[in-house]
Structure formats: structure tokens, C-alpha cells
Structure 1
Amino acid sequence: MSKTLERREKLRFDLIQAAERMIAERGLAGLKTRDLAREIGCANGAVYNLVADVNELILRVGSRTLHRLDEALSAAESAGDPSRPETLVRTAIAYCDFAAANLELWRALFEHRMAANKVLPDWSVNDQLQLFRHIYHPLAQLFPERGREELGITARSLFSAVHGMVALGLEQKLVAVPLPALRKEIAGLVRAMIDGLVARGA
């Protein structure tokens, strides 16, 4: 790699890191390219020599967030027997804990909207879809007789239920729930859903 390319890659890495810090501190609405350019020491227009547009910059930050979330969920999943229902409980609580510890970066994953004429790049779609294995694989262990499509729908439904509780529970408004209580409620929800699936199968 030439020195010029090395400098460009380093500046691009610095830009993404600076954007990550800015979102973590200010939220997605606080991301300003002019402030980023000043922080990394380049002209405002030069930002767009490093990324195609603000969409790509936000998605690159989101990719880093998803990779860290993936690590947290992997640790929770591997902490016990993957064939037992408690694997899904641990994973759900790990998701809640990650969201609470990385609130603005986590929110940015869901707040960002692509322009109508833009589509998500394949690498970003793949980063998101990869996370569903943390739900799909334990479900497949618990319900080996179920088909891939049915398990996929169940995995998405379980995620939606947990995500909804986390999103509402961590709202800094009247609906906010103290984290210990939220973790307990999420565990109860996941256990109830699994018990319901077992009963329905029986």
C-alpha cells in the first residue's frame, strides 16, 4: 500500500472513530461533519473523499456497534448449554445491558433512515442479519422439528418483543424502568414465550 493510501485509510479510520464518539456523546442528531473535519484535521469537503456521504459514515459507525453487540451476545450464548432455554434469557439480558451501556450508539442503529433513493449496502445488511443467529440457533436446539422458515419467524418475533421492552424501558421519560427491574421483566418475558412455544408444540 502506498503512503498516500495509508494516510487516507488512517484518516478514514480516524473519521469513523470521531463520528462514533460524537454520536455516543450527542446522539445521532448531534453528528456534524464540520465538527468531525475539525477534530481529525481536514477540510470539511475532504470528509467526502473518505466516505461517500453521511449515510455511509453512520452505517460504518453502526457496523462497529453491531460487531461489539455481536461479541456481547456471543459471550452470553457461550456461557451455558445452548440447548437450554436459559441461553435465550442470557442473550436477551445481554442485549438489554449492551443497549443501556451504549445508549446513543444503540439508538442510532434504529433512528437512522436512508434516503428514499438509497439502499442499504450488502455489508450493512449482512452485519444486521448475522445477529439473528444468536436467537435462531438456540431456538433450533430447542425445537429441532421446526423448519427454517418457522424458526426464522419465531426468532424475529422474539427479538421484536425483547427490543420493544428495551426501547421503552430505557426511554428517559415516564415509561422508563430501572435497569434491574427491566432485566427481570425481560427474563420473565422470554421464559413465558418459550413456555408458550413448548406448550403449543405439545
Structure 2
Amino acid sequence: MRSDLILAAERMIANRGLAGLKTRDLAREIGCANGAVYNLVADVDELILRVGSRTLRRLDEALSAAESAGEPSPQQTLVRIAIAYCDFAAENLQLWRALFEHRMATDKTVPDWSVDDQMRLFRHIYQPLAALFPQRSPDELGITARSLFSAVHGMVALGLEQKLVAVPLPALRKEIAGLVRAMIDGLIAQPS
């Protein structure tokens, strides 16, 4: 039943967005009482994080496929994974948004398993950066990886907005590729 609950929550978020997640509707869909949902997960936060873990696994698969899909140069790998990230977000918009929209109460901490799921994805950026900049420390590479992710994520988040700042997907892909190339070229040109 727990798996059924997580899958039902995933479908609900995919169709309605995070704000459309209702435990009463989930309980009815999986055939249990509303209170029984909390026998399957501790609370709605855990349920959302479990759905997020499934989303992150699928994103990991998409990024892994992009890594091995072409020229093995670190620069091209970074461009491919940035575009794969954009495409994944566009194809899984509500689930992707839920990863960033969900906020835990200030007195609650994100469980280690969920943090691990999130941080594991940075290897896709970190490894090509380590090949490009072998003289940098792991901490420096980590900061650069997070900065590159933030730049690409910002473009994707704003580009996929369904408001005034929306950018057609082909143009967004092109702009993201240009940003990643420019950032890497700039980092390479910097003196050590």
C-alpha cells in the first residue's frame, strides 16, 4: 500500500502540481481511510520527499544517458547534461517544480536519505569539472558545480515559466548551451 500511495501521490502532483496534493483524494484512490495514510508515511512531508526521490532517480537516469550520448570531452558533457536537465524539467514540469517548491516546517530537517538523493546528482557536474580543473580542491570544485547548476537551473526555471518570461524550448536549449560554454571558457581563461 505504501508503494501505491507514493505512486498515486506522484500522479497527483504530475497532474495538479504540489498544491493539488490532497491526502483525502489519495486515500480514496488507494482504497484506505484518510487517517490510514499516516500509517504508511509519517506525514505529508515524507510523502512529498518520497515522490521527490523517484523524480530525482529518473533525472539521474536522464543525466547519465546524456553523459554517455556523445563526445566525451568534459565541456560537451556539461552542455549535454545541462540540456538534458532542461528537457527533463520541461517533460516533467509539475514533478520537477515540486522538488523546489516543497518547504518543510522550520523546526523539521530534511532526512539524510533525501539529502543524499539530491547531492548524488552533483556528480554529473563535478566529474567533468574535475577533469577540466584537476588543480582545484574538492571544495572549490563543489562550489563551481553548484554555481553552474544554479545558473542553468535559473534559466530553466524562468524559461519554462508560463508567463511573460517564457522562452520557446528550442531557444532555451540553445541559450543554455551558450551559457555553459561561456562559463567553462571563462573558467578556463582565468589564471590559477
Could you say whether these structures have the same fold, taking a TM-score greater than 0.5 normalized by the shorter chain as the test? yes
Identity %: 84
What whole-Å deviation, never above 9, does each CA across 1:148-173 have from its counterpart, x for those lacking one?
A: 11111100000000000000000000
**Bigger shift: residues 37-46 or 139-148:** 139-148
Aligned twin of 2:64:
74
Matching residue within 170, 188, 198 for 2:188: 198
**Structure 1 stretches of at least 4 aligned residues deviating more than 6 Å after TM superposition:** none
Indicate conservation of the 8 Å contact 1:140/1:146, yes or no. Answer: yes
**Cα separation, 1, equivalents of 2:93 and 2:72:** 28
Indicate conservation of the 8 Å contact 1:15/1:36, yes or no. Answer: yes
Q: Give the number of equivalent residue pairs.
A: 192
Indicate conservation of the 8 Å contact 1:16/1:61, yes or no. Answer: yes
**Cα separation, 1, equivalents of 2:52 and 2:21:** 13
| TM-score (norm. length: structure 2) | 0.98
Q: CA deviation at 1:82?
A: 4.0
Tell whether 2:9 aligns with 1:35.
no
**Cα separation, 2, equivalents of 1:150 and 1:82:** 23
Aligned twin of 1:19:
9
Q: CA deviation at 1:81?
A: 4.4
Tell whether 2:123 aligns with 1:133.
yes
Aligned twin of 1:47:
37
Q: CA deviation at 1:54?
A: 0.2
Where structure 2 has 5 or more consecutive residues not aligned to the other structure, the ranges are: none
Matching residue within 111, 116, 120 for 1:121: 111
In structure 2, the residue corresponding to 1:23 is in which secondary structure? helix
Matching residue within 132, 143, 158 for 1:142: 132
Matches for 1:160-175 after TM superposition, within 5 Å:
160-175=150-165
User: Using a 3 Å threshold, how does the CA distance of structure 1 residues 111 and 159 change in structure 2: closer, same or farther?
Assistant: same
Which structure's CA Rg is the greater one?
1
Aligned twin of 2:47:
57
State the one-letter code of the partner of 2:149: F
| TM-score (norm. length: structure 1) | 0.93
Matches for 1:92-107 after TM superposition, within 5 Å:
92-107=82-97
Tell whether 2:171 aligns with 1:181.
yes
Q: CA deviation at 1:18?
A: 0.2
User: Using a 3 Å threshold, how does the CA distance of structure 1 residues 81 and 73 change in structure 2: closer, same or farther?
Assistant: same
**Cα separation, 2, equivalents of 1:141 and 1:117:** 40
Q: CA deviation at 1:178?
A: 0.3
Q: CA deviation at 1:99?
A: 0.1
Where structure 1 has 5 or more consecutive residues not aligned to the other structure, the ranges are: 1-10
